[in-house]
Structures are given as C-alpha cells and as structure tokens.
Structure 1
Amino acid sequence: MTTQPTPAPTPRTGRPAPAETSPDLLYSDTEDDLRAAVRSLLTDRADLPATLARAESGDPYDPALWTSLTAGIGAAGLLVPEKLGGQGASHREAAVVLEELGRAVTPAPYLTSAVVATEALLGCDGHSTESTDVAGLLTALASGHRTAVLALPLTTAPDAPLPFTGTDPEGAATTVRAVAEAVRADVLLVPRADGLYAVETAAPGVTVEPLTPLDLTRPLATVTVAAGSGVRIADAATGESAVRRGLLAGAGLLASEQLGLAEWCLEETVRYTRERHQFNRPVGSFQALKHRMAQLWLEVVSARAAARNAADALATGDPGAPLAVAVAQAYCGRVAVHAAEECVQLHGGIGMTWEHPAHLYLKRAKSDESALGSPGRHRERLADLADLPGPG
C-alpha cells in the first residue's frame, strides 16, 4: 500500500501546508497569542461601560488605547512590510485583531486606517513615480502616529463605481458624505479624475463636519476638499486599482469584525439565560430558547468559516479572493444582525435599556451590514463571479 508524503510544515503556522485548493481556516499559535494580547488590552482599557460613556460624550475615541494597540502591540502595522516599519504579517493576523475589536465594539479607526487605507497605499507603493510620500505615510500609519481614511462613503462596495473617476469641473471642491472616522484621520486619500491624492485634514480648504450616525462608536462625517489640494501619489489607473484593493481587503476583514460581534452576543445571551431564573428554572433551559440559541450557534460557526476563508484568501493572494470576500459579506452581515437582535430580545426588559451594551452591538451590526457593500450587493457580485444564471 502506498502512502502520500506528509507536506512540509509552513513557517507561519508550523502545521502541514494545506492543499492549494483548501483554505486554512484554523488559527495558528501566533494568531492565538495575538488574540490573547489584544483581548487582555481591551479588557483592561476598553470595558463596555467606559465605551458607552465615551460614545454618549460625542467623542468615542480613547487616544491612550489606540497608542497601546498600535505602538504597544504593533497591530496597526500588521499589513505593512518590515522594511517600512511594519510587522510584515498578513490579513489573517489583522482579522484576529478585528474579531477582538468587534467583540468589544471598540471605537478605533483600525478597519478604516490600518486595513483599508493601508492596503490602498500598498497598492501605490512601488508603482508611483509622482511622489515619494507613500512609503513615509505607510511608516507613520504602521507606528500609529498617524491615521488615514479613504474619502469615500462607508457604503462603497469594492466593485462599485468610484466617485471622481470622471472629469471634475475646474476649481470645484469635492464633497463626500458618510466618510467613516474622518474626524479621527490626519490624512485623506482622495480619488480624483487624474489619480489618487493624499490630503492633510488640517490643510486649507479641507473641512470635516461630523454627522449623527446610527453607530455612535464609528463616527461619520461630511468631507469637503478644495480642488488642487494635496499631493498626487498615484496616476489614475494605479489609483483606482489601489482604492479597489483597499475596499476589497476592508470588506473581507469586516467579516471578522462581524464575527467577533456575533460571538459576543451569543456568549452573553447564553450566560444571561443560564443565570436568569423564572418559575424556579433558568430561562435558558426552556426548549424554545434552546432552539433559538442552537440555531444562532450554527450561524456563528458558519460565519467563522466564511470570515476565515476570506482572510486566508486575501493573505495568500488567492485569485479567488473576490469570491471569498463576496461569500463572507453576503453571509456574515446578516448573522451579526441576527445575533444582536437575539441578544436584545432574549435579555428581556434589561436588553432594551440604554444602560445595557446590547444596543451598541445592534447598532454596530446594522451599520456594518451596509458598510463596504450591502449583503444584497455582495450576493449579486457572488452570482457574477460564480457565473450563476440570473432570475427569470
């Protein structure tokens, strides 16, 4: 009888390398250690009562927490190569950080700056002959000393038509609504007809007006940028490719944030229904509630597989990454909303109060569901990528 040779262990995980067609959905020891570090930090510095208090104040950010997360743990530089001051890690490790940030519904510009903007800049680095500022900005983002956001609405999907790809009227200012976490950003990455520009938020002619968002932990703003401001960091073709690269990575890793959110909601609901008694029995022992939580557990497990598949596809440069991202976003957004709704409902009266954090999770879940493309849009994209027939 012949046996197949055991594949050599991969340097990153120490486990046998998976087949080329099989994604690695398991967490490595390194990823588990990173999770433990981030969770410990958030437990000590970002408890839910403090998060709620900051959200009510109108300024949800904790600068000291961001410094600890970026400079202390090095999370902001996970996607940045070591030669530019980053960690040289992958989307898998960044996904772990986002899972923990989702579990704690932490107000931090990690998705927008350390993932979306960083990926867009990486798409320009090495291709831009217009400016040498890309490498310097990546280094600053990796250290956490600066943050950047794409000047696009939060709802922009990876395959959506991009604003400013046409010819702007000469001398006209650019106004974009619903830009996530622009109030926290130092630099705006602005797509224009002739390329991608890096614009300082403190520059003349730039205004950032806060909006009232559904999710108080992820502020939105209307951004106005005067024509001619900023430094061009990529030509039109490279800039559009870089922006789409950033949006694709953001959509793929947003699924990990949604996964973390759903896991917290499920675990908190199970804990509460085990402790809450009615008729001298834990309410969690009632069959109807058991069935609801069991169904939610199945959905969360499936969401974990979809999110990990998307992160692994992005990390390995799999040509099928757009398909994996479409699957993750078509599924994980709905699961996160369902988990948050069940958390509110199965907590009974206390779940409807402002003092309980369940509403923070529900609002983040609803906001995430429309971020970087709705589930419906991703289902349409999935059908196109898989060459499925349309209705009728």
Structure 2
Amino acid sequence: MNELDLLRDAVRALLTKRPEQAWERLCTEVGVAGLLIPARFGGAGAGMAEACVVLEELGRVLSPAPMLSTVIATQALLATGNEEACARLLPEIAVGACTPTLVWDDFVLPGDLFFVVSGGQLYAAQAVSTPLPTMDHTRPLIEVYVQQRGEVLGPFDADRMRDLACVALAAEQVGTAEQALAITVDYAKTRVQFGRPIGAFQALQHRMADLHVLVQTARSAYLAALDGDPLSAAVAKVTCSETLLKVAAEMIQIHGGIGITWEHDAHRYFKRAHGSAELFGHPRHHVTRLAGHVLG
C-alpha cells in the first residue's frame, strides 16, 4: 500500500459517517486544506496527485466540502510569487481556519477569503456573498459583491488556472461516477425481475461493463493531465464530464422507477453531473479548444 492509498483510506474513513460535516476533521486530522501549500507556509508540500485523491473521495459522497475552491484559490495565490502575501494568508488556509475562493467566473464557489481577478491581476478583496439557488444542492454557489478591491497580490494567468481547475474538477467527477456505478451495480445484483436479479441479464451486464470502462478511461485522462499540459487538461474536462453524465443517466435508467424518486440518491448524482459539466467551461468549449490545436 503506497502513500496515496493511505491518504485515500484516511479520507474515506472520515467521510463514511457524516460526510456533510467532515471538513473540519479532514483539515485538522488529515491536513487536506494544506496539501498543496508548501511546508514553509504551513502546508504539506504535496502535489496535485494527492489533492486529486481527496477530490475523488469527496466526489464519491457528493460532499459540499470546499476542497475544490481551496485548491484553485491557493494555487492562484502561489502562482503570483508574492512571498509576503503567501506567508500571511496561507498558514490560516492550511489549517482550515478560512476558506479562500477565486472570483473570476460566472460560477463562484463558496468561501470567506476572496481573491478577485481584474485586468490580469489577482487582488485580495473585501466582499459580501449571497447563496445562489442551484439545481444541485450538494454544490453550493454564491454571488459575490465586491465592496473594496484591496492589495494587488500579483499577476494572474487565467488560462493556466482554468486548466488546473479542470483537472481538479475532473478528479472529483471520476469519484462521483465511480460511486454512482457502484450503487447501480449493487442494485442490479438485488433487484429481482422475471424470477432473477436484473444483473443476471446479459444486456445490463454489457451496459455496466461499458460504464466501468468509461470510468477507468476518465481516470486515466485526468491522471495524464497532472503535469499541467493544456491539451491534456481539456481532454480530461471533456472525458470526465461526459463520463459522469453518461453514468448518471444510466444510473437512473437501470434503477427504473425508484431512480426518479426524491428519496433515492440517483437524482443527486444526476444533478451533480450536469452542474459539474458547466463549471470552468462546458465540454463543447473544450472540444473547440482541442479542435483548434488538432485542425489548426
């Protein structure tokens, strides 16, 4: 068992009982908020591979924990090269005392420490936020009103940050898709129709086997993008978004009538799939990016 497996087991153990309330313990006992923060600023000095393990596990349980916003915002701050600001802000982020969020898109993830993008620069800002009504209640979003733009933290590379955000989101999507498929397979083993479990029918076996291949392909896609290559990030966003959309749709189909009830979790996975596909550029946008490189 390697270090990534140990990290995965530790995170999963804390998420098993009450995933919606696990963030504080994940920060204090595992140090997830500081994984990507260098040791000199109070973090673990780990890499994207470790952060993506945590994101996968959070995706499995549809956790609203702010890992995604923390990863993106801390990397944006580190990329400015502003050592003084990093030394002042990152230690509190590393222990989960505050939650940073990057205000740069139509969709803003929740947080209480706001980094605002304007004119190619990253600013610390005083702002107030209000919750936005969303289709996916497991993915809270906010509307931000900037009251005062504060200090300039440094330059902001929008393209690089969007690629990093896509890879982080892709890891989360893989975790969500894998768990949705696991729930579906378990249901197919126990749901009896025509005198036998529906999982015994070859047509459904083939469908679920195809979904398994899609999930593993999606995982390979995001792992291939960990080195920061822009094209690989676009491939990861497209592949992982489309995989989760497919798995969530098949989850409802294979569950039948119970899959469209409010009491079952299938609709939550379906909503997460569609909400996540819209973040950081719809798959169509990234297909266009890829087409420009391949055909241009």
Normalising by structure 2, report the TM-score: 0.95
Q: Partner of 1:178: helix, strand, or coil?
A: coil
**Any gaps of 5 or more consecutive residues in structure 2?**
none
Shift of 1:245: 3.4
Secondary structure of the structure 2 residue equivalent to 1:209: strand
Mapped partners of 1:328, 1:195: distance in 2: 27
CA distance, structure 1, for counterparts of residue 37 and residue 161 of structure 2 = 13
Q: Are 1:215 and 2:136 an aligned pair?
A: yes
Does structure 1 residue 103 correspond to structure 2 residue 76?
A: no
The aligned counterpart of 2:164 is: 249
C-alpha displacement of 1:207: 2.8
Determine whether 1:283 maps to 2:198. Answer: yes
Q: Deviations over 1:55-91 (max 9, x none)?
A: xxxxxxx3xx211111210111111111111001100
Q: Give the superposition deviation at 1:337.
A: 0.8
How big is the alpha-carbon RMSD for the aligned residues of Structure 1 and Structure 2? Answer: 1.7
- Cα shift at 1:214: 1.4
Q: Does the alignment pair 1:324 with 2:227?
A: no
SS at match of 1:230: strand
| 1:194 shift after superposition | 7.2
Equivalent pairs: percent with the same residue?
43
Match of 2:294, SS state, is coil
Using the TM superposition, give the Cα deviation of residue 376 of structure 1 relative to its aligned residue in structure 2, in angstroms.
Answer: 1.2
Q: Which amino acid aligns with 1:142?
A: A
* C-alpha contact 2:221 2:232 (8 A) present in aligned 1: yes
Aligned residues: 296
Given the alignment of the two structures, is residue 124 of structure 1 paired with residue 80 of structure 2, yes or no? Answer: yes
Distance 1:194 1:352 in 2: 45
Residue of structure 1 aligned with 2:15, choices 23, 35, 42: 42
- 1:78-157 → structure 2 map (5 Å cutoff): 78-113=35-70, 115-126=71-82, 132-153=84-105
Higher relative contact order (CA 8 A, sep 6+): 1
Partner of 2:248: 340
Per the alignment, residue 295 of structure 2 pairs with 389
Distance 1:108 1:136 in 2: 24
Q: 1:350 and 2:270 equivalent?
A: no
- Find the counterpart in structure 1 of residue 173 from structure 2: 258
CA distance in 2, matches of 1:221, 1:186: 11
Matched, 1:72 2:29: yes
The equivalent residue for 1:233 is 153
**Alignment of structure 1 residues 270-309 onto 2, 5 Å:** 270-309=185-224
Are 1:186 and 2:101 counterparts? no
User: What is the TM-score with the length of structure 1 in the denominator?
Assistant: 0.72
Shift in Å, 1:135: 2.3
Contact 1:31 / 1:96 at 8 angstroms: preserved in 2? yes
- From the CA coordinates, give the structure whose radius of gyration is larger: 1
More helix by share: 2
Tell me, in whole angstroms, the C-alpha distance in 2 between the residues paired with 1:301 and 1:233: 39
Decide whether the 8 Å contact of 1:253 with 1:310 is kept in 2.
no
For residues 88 and 45 of structure 1, what CA distance do their matches in structure 2 show?
A: 28
CA distance in 2, matches of 1:135, 1:347: 51
Aligned to 2:4: 31
SS in 1 for 2:153: strand
Q: Distance in 2 between matches of 1:307 and 1:195?
A: 28
SS at match of 2:122: strand
Alignment partners' CA distance in 2, 1:257 and 1:294: 21
Match of 1:162?
Answer: none
Q: Aligned residue for 1:197?
A: 123
- Give 1:310 shift: 1.5
* Aligned AA (2:294): L
Alignment of 1:3-18 (within 5 A): none
User: What is the alpha-carbon distance in structure 2 between the residues aligned to residue 339 and residue 194 of structure 1?
Assistant: 38
Point out where structure 1 has 5 or more consecutive residues left out of the alignment: 1-27, 52-61, 154-176, 201-205, 315-320
The SS at the match of 1:355 is: coil
